[in-house]
Amino acid sequence: MKPLRFNYKNSDVSYYRFGTGPEIALCFHGYGEEAIVHHFLEKYAGNQYTFYSIDLLFHGKTEWNEGLFFTHKDQLQIIEGILEENNLKLETLNFKFTLLGFSLGGRMILSL
């Protein structure tokens, strides 16, 4: 599976899209992991969910060039940008989607 890219400011955020379902799930991996770790979910829920699994800063194939300063606003803009790049809008989803994460990814979710 080849990662997709989302350009944010001067950085390239890497993510994977898998599954074909109508419900959206955003996945965030743990410290030292990569976004591909969630790919197994497609086997179990791929016709119910479409998953977007994002390589966090300094992980996987994400090339982060914005320094060490990162806010929840940055994270939200990245999520919105990835969804819009895939022809989805938070308003269209009525701001309803599933967040899935562990370790560092869980902390990212709590910051949202």
To the nearest 10°, report the CA torsion of 85, 102, 109, 104: -90
Neighbours of 59 (CB within 10 A): 20
Over residues 10-57, the pLDDT tens digits come to: 999 999 999 999 999 999 999 999 999 999 999 999 899 999 999 999
Q: What percent of the chain has pLDDT over 90?
A: 74
Q: Return the H-helix or E-strand segment holding 85.
A: helix 72-85
| pLDDT reported for residue 67 | 87
Identify the band that residue 70 occupies on the pLDDT scale cut at 50, 70 and 90: confident
CATH number at 103 reads 3.40.50.1820
Identify the band that residue 95 occupies on the pLDDT scale cut at 50, 70 and 90: low
Amino acid symbol at 78: I
Taking all residues of the chain, what is their mean pLDDT, rounded to a whole number? 92
Q: Which residues form the domain of 64?
A: 4-111
Compute CA 11 distance to the chain's CA centroid, rounded to the nearest angstrom: 15
* Number of structural domains the chain divides into: 1
Spatial strand order in the sheet of 23-28:
4-8, 11-18, 49-54, 23-28, 98-101
Is the pTM value of this prediction over 0.75? yes
